Structure 1
Amino acid sequence: MSHDGAEFSFKKIAIPAFGPSILFGVGEGAILPVIALSARDLGASVAVAALVVTLIGVGSLISNIPASIVTDRYGERWSIVGAAVLSMLAMLLCVFAPNLWVYGLGVLLIGAASAVFNLARQKYLTEAVPLKYRARALSTLGGVMRIGIFIGPFIGALAINFFHLAGAYWVGVVAVIIAGLIALSMPDLVHTAAGDGALASPTLRSTLLDHRKVFLSIGIGVLLVGAVRASRQAVLPLWAEGLGLDPSTTSLIYGLSGAIDMLVFYPAGKLMDRRGRAWVAVPSMVLMGISLLLMPLTSGAFGLLLVALLIGFGNGIGSGVVMTLGADYSPARGRAQFLGIWRFLADLGAFSGPALLSGITAILSLSVGIAATGLIGLGAAAVLWYWIPRTPKISA
Structure 2
Amino acid sequence: MRVIPGQAQSFELRSLIGGIYLPALFFGIGQWMIIPAIPQFADELGASVFLSGIIFAARGAGSMIGDVPSGLLMSRLGGRVTMTSGVVLTAVTAAAMGFSSGPATLGLFTLLNGVAFALWHVSRLAYMTETVPVEYRGRALSLVGGVTRVGFFAGPIVGGAIAQFGGLETVFFAQAVVVGVAALLVATRLPEPRGGDAGTPERPHVSLRSVALAERRSLIVAGSVAITLVLIRHGRQFLIPVWGREALDLDPFEIGLVFGLASAIDMVMFYPVGVVMDRWGRKWVIVPSLLVLSASLLLMPLTAGFVSFLLVGLLSGFGNGLGSGAVMTLGADLAPPDAAGEFLGLWRLVGDVGAVAAPPAIGGLEDLFTLDAAAAVTGIIGLAGGVIMLLLVRETLTRSREPARASPR
Corresponding residue of 2:104: 101
Q: Does 1:91 align with 2:94?
A: yes
On the 8 A contact 1:160/1:167 being kept in 2, the answer is: yes
Residues 275-310 of structure 1: CA deviation (Å, up to 9, x unaligned): 011000000000000100101110111111111111
Q: How does 1:88-167 map to 2 (within 5 A)?
A: 88-167=91-170
Corresponding residue of 2:29: 26
On the 8 A contact 1:83/1:117 being kept in 2, the answer is: yes
- Tell me the CA shift for residue 381 of structure 1: 0.7
Q: Aligned in 2, Cα 1:162/1:193: closer, same or farther, shift over 3 Å? A: closer
Q: How does 1:335-346 map to 2 (within 5 A)?
A: 335-346=340-351
- Tell me the CA shift for residue 390 of structure 1: 4.1
Q: Does 1:171 align with 2:193?
A: no
More displaced, 327-336 or 118-127? 118-127
Q: CA-atom RMSD, angstroms?
A: 1.9
Structure 2 unaligned blocks of 5 or more: 405-409
> What amino acid does structure 2 have at the position aligned with 1:307?
V
- Tell me the CA shift for residue 190 of structure 1: 4.2
TM-score, scaled to structure 1: 0.95
Structure 1 unaligned blocks of 5 or more: none
- Tell me the CA shift for residue 191 of structure 1: 4.5
On the 8 A contact 1:59/1:112 being kept in 2, the answer is: yes
- Tell me the CA shift for residue 93 of structure 1: 1.5
- Tell me the CA shift for residue 70 of structure 1: 1.5
- Tell me the CA shift for residue 388 of structure 1: 2.9
TM-score, scaled to structure 2: 0.92
Q: Does 1:319 align with 2:324?
A: yes
SS of the residue 2:158 aligns to: helix
> What amino acid does structure 1 have at the position aligned with 2:337?
A
Tell me how far apart the structure 2 counterparts of residues 250 and 176 of structure 1 sit (CA, whole Å). Answer: 30
On the 8 A contact 2:24/2:182 being kept in 1, the answer is: yes
Q: Does 1:282 align with 2:287?
A: yes
> What amino acid does structure 2 have at the position aligned with 1:245?
L
Aligned length: 394
Q: How does 1:301-380 map to 2 (within 5 A)?
A: 301-380=306-385
Tell me how far apart the structure 2 counterparts of residues 284 and 380 of structure 1 sit (CA, whole Å). Answer: 10
Displaced runs of 4+ in structure 1, greater than 3 A?
1-4, 190-194, 197-200, 390-396
Tell me how far apart the structure 2 counterparts of residues 120 and 36 of structure 1 sit (CA, whole Å). Answer: 28
Tell me how far apart the structure 2 counterparts of residues 257 and 221 of structure 1 sit (CA, whole Å). Answer: 23
Tell me how far apart the structure 2 counterparts of residues 144 and 50 of structure 1 sit (CA, whole Å). Answer: 28
Q: Out of 39, 57, 61, which is 1:54 matched to?
A: 57
Residues 221-257 of structure 1: CA deviation (Å, up to 9, x unaligned): 1111121111111100000001110111111111111
Tell me how far apart the structure 1 counterparts of residues 153 and 318 of structure 2 sit (CA, whole Å). Answer: 15
- Tell me the CA shift for residue 48 of structure 1: 2.1
Tell me how far apart the structure 1 counterparts of residues 119 and 136 of structure 2 sit (CA, whole Å). Answer: 24
Corresponding residue of 2:272: 267
Tell me how far apart the structure 1 counterparts of residues 160 and 302 of structure 2 sit (CA, whole Å). Answer: 34
On the 8 A contact 2:75/2:205 being kept in 1, the answer is: no
More displaced, 378-387 or 158-167? 158-167
On the 8 A contact 1:326/1:342 being kept in 2, the answer is: yes
Corresponding residue of 1:220: 224
- Tell me the CA shift for residue 51 of structure 1: 2.4
Corresponding residue of 2:263: 258
On the 8 A contact 1:3/1:131 being kept in 2, the answer is: no
On the 8 A contact 1:129/1:137 being kept in 2, the answer is: yes
Q: Does 1:231 align with 2:222?
A: no
> What amino acid does structure 2 have at the position aligned with 1:376?
I
SS of the residue 1:216 aligns to: helix
SS of the residue 1:184 aligns to: helix
Tell me how far apart the structure 2 counterparts of residues 109 and 303 of structure 1 sit (CA, whole Å). Answer: 41
Q: Aligned in 2, Cα 1:262/1:110: closer, same or farther, shift over 3 Å? A: same
On the 8 A contact 1:68/1:336 being kept in 2, the answer is: yes
Q: Aligned in 2, Cα 1:167/1:80: closer, same or farther, shift over 3 Å? A: same
- Tell me the CA shift for residue 188 of structure 1: 2.4
Tell me how far apart the structure 2 counterparts of residues 8 and 171 of structure 1 sit (CA, whole Å). Answer: 35
> What amino acid does structure 2 have at the position aligned with 1:248?
F
Q: Aligned in 2, Cα 1:16/1:54: closer, same or farther, shift over 3 Å? A: same
Tell me how far apart the structure 2 counterparts of residues 88 and 48 of structure 1 sit (CA, whole Å). Answer: 24
Report % sequence identity.
Answer: 37
> What amino acid does structure 2 have at the position aligned with 1:214?
S
